[in-house]
Amino acid sequence: MANNTTVLHLRSEQKPLEHRSALTPETTKALLKAGYEVHVERSPKDPSRKRIYDDSEFESVGAKLVGDQTWTEAPRNHIIIGLKELEPENFPLIHTHIQFAHCYKGQGGWQEVLSRFPRGGGTLFDLEFLQLANGRRVAAFGYHAGFAGAALAVKTWRWQLVNPHERLPGVETFTQGRGYYLNEDEMLTQLRAELKEGIEKAGRQPKVFVMGAKGRCGRGAVKLLHEIGLDDSHVLKWDLEETTDNPGPYREIVESDIFVNCIYLSDPIKPFIDAETLASASRKLSVICDVSCDTTNPNNPIPVYTVNTTFTDPTVPVEVEGDLPLSVISIDHLPSLLPRESSEAFSHDLLPYLLELKDWRHNDVWVRAQKLFEDKVATLPANMRQLEVNGR
């Protein structure tokens, strides 16, 4: 652009039941004030993809509204920002993209996802790997992922007691058709009543095991459990101290009613549970919420399921011995159950780094992200990273 203005293009999300936003009206306002230009794609008309913020909220702070999914037509120097992965198309990507791409840890199909960037001359700044020098992520949805994951786990535990032969229905059935909660208060009010019903049915409070309890995600899970009335005597909190010199599997997990996995998987580890531990006569475990959701990772420490679940079909059954069921929740965008609070927290933390995009080469966070992208691209077969002159 002639005036060298940095343009951020907020794309609408394509994932069904994804209502979060990488930018909020408030962070957009701050970017505009700092001299950026912000284009915001209009929220999709499809209710299942409606952004939690109305278009008018962005327009009122000065953003330029553009058509849904018009990022493909944007000038090459516009920076495309979103949250969840793009649709599995094949055309090369010519822009710089800021998003979660889920292709750096050997996930299924990672080569096809990553190769689109070098083939088009584009760049990926993966939100999962925007990190400080100590490795801490600058912005993450972990807290609200743990909060929402623990909520669905408790909801599933109660559902199994009241409806023993049915799977938990889609979230739209208990969110007035929306597919998400308007706010935390709405969720907590509903969940407190359901926990009470479950306790009356079971004759006791559930015991919940939270793995990775000291991280963002684990703290969110523990906070939810405390908010609905479970005290520490019913919440077993494990982290590195309990596992470093004590490799799994762990009987403490199968002897709990609910297991909420909140670890960040970076290296191969032994499974937390396996077929042998699940066959134990002391098993009480009936609900697993794998918030970490490393479903296709070959090192997944919960190797009892193979598919992601969704908000429309939240659980998948695991074949186990005995009459006690076992359900797994493996939804990879749990924070969208609370889209407004989770978007506000994430975008607020990301904002200081977005404000550095004009001169990103002078910011260590962006420089590290660029280097990581280049290193990952170098692991692709040569034919998958060759620039396609004709683009898409």
Indicate which CATH number applies to the domain containing 235: 3.40.50.720
* Host domain of residue 48: 7-139+339-384
Is there a single domain that holds both residue 191 and residue 219?
A: yes
Structure tokens at 355: 């404000």
Structural domain contains residue 158? yes
Give the single-character DSSP code of 26: H
Domain count, the chain: 2
Instruction: Tell me which amino acid residue 106 is.
Output: G
Please tell me which residue in 39, 50, 78, 84 is annotated as part of the active site: 84
Same domain assignment for residues 150 and 110: no
pLDDT band at 265 (very low <50, low <70, confident <90, very high): confident
User: What pLDDT does 145 receive?
Assistant: 97
Domain assignment of residue 390, yes or no: no
Query: In percent, how much of the chain has pLDDT > 70?
Result: 98
3-state secondary structure of 90: coil
Residue 3 confidence (pLDDT) = 56
Asked if residue 391 is part of any domain, the answer here is no
Structure tokens at 81: 């920002």
- On the question of a cis peptide bond just before residue 169, with omega within 30 degrees of 0, the verdict is no
Check whether 264 has a pLDDT greater than 90: no
Model pLDDT, residue 89? 92
- Mean pLDDT in residue range 44-70: 95
Give pLDDT tens digits for 92-136: 999 999 999 999 988 889 999 999 999 999 999 999 999 999 999
DSSP string, 277-315: HHT-TT----EEEESS--TT-TT-S-TT--S---SSS-E
Task: Give the whole-angstrom CA distance, residue 259 versus residue 204.
Answer: 17
Give the model's pLDDT for residue 390: 57
Considering the candidates 78, 95, 102, 237, report the single residue annotated as catalytic.
102
Nearest-angstrom CA–CA distance, 3 and 186: 47
Give which of 123, 165, 190, 215 is closest to 338, Cα–Cα. Answer: 190
The answer to whether residues 314 and 379 belong to one domain is: no
Question: Is residue 345 included in any domain, yes or no?
Answer: yes
CA dihedral sign of residues 11, 17, 23, 29: positive
pLDDT at 268: 81
CB atoms within 10 A of CB 152: 27
Q: What are phi and psi of 59, to 5 degrees?
A: -65, -35
Q: Is residue 238 a part of any domain in this protein?
A: yes
213 with 111, same domain?
A: no
Quote the mean pLDDT of the chain. Answer: 94
213 and 289 assigned to the same domain: yes
Q: Are residues 195 and 239 in the same domain?
A: yes
- Give the distance from CA 21 to its chain's centroid: 12
84 catalytically annotated: yes
The reply to whether 117 falls in a domain is: yes
Rg of the chain over all Cα atoms, to the nearest angstrom: 22
> Are 266 and 358 in a shared domain?
no
- DSSP letter for 47, please: G
pLDDT tens digits for 177-231? 999 999 999 999 999 999 999 999 999 999 999 999 999 999 999 999 999 999 9
For the cut 50, the answer to whether the pLDDT of residue 2 exceeds it is: no
Residues 289 and 151 in one domain: yes
* DSSP string across 233-273: GGEEEE-HHHHTTS-S--HHHHTSSEEEE-----S----SS
Cα–Cα dist 304/71, whole Å: 39
Q: Give residues with Cβ within 8 angstroms of 128, minimum separation 6.
A: 100, 102, 104, 137, 140
| pLDDT above 90 for 269 | no
Query: Which pLDDT value is given to residue 1?
Result: 35
- The last residue of one of the domains, among 316, 337, 358, is 337
- pLDDT tens for residues 349-380? 999 999 999 999 999 999 999 999 999 999 99
Compute the distance between CA of residue 333 and CA of residue 242 in angstroms, rounded to an integer.
Answer: 28
The answer to whether residue 9 is catalytic is no
Assess if residue 252 is contained within a domain: yes
Query: How far apart are the C-alpha atoms of 150 and 165, rounded to whole Å?
Result: 22
Looking at the structure, tell me whether residues 41 and 124 fall in a common domain.
yes
- Residue 259: how many other CB atoms lie within 10 Å: 27
pLDDT tens digits for 293-347? Answer: 888 777 889 999 999 999 999 999 999 988 999 999 999 899 999 999 999 999 9
Last residue of a domain, one of 319, 337, 355: 337
Same domain for 282 and 149:
yes
Q: Are residues 286 and 276 in the same domain?
A: yes
Q: Which of 300, 315, 337 delimits the end of a domain?
A: 337
| Position 2 in a domain | no
Question: Are residue 315 and residue 356 in the same domain, yes or no?
Answer: no
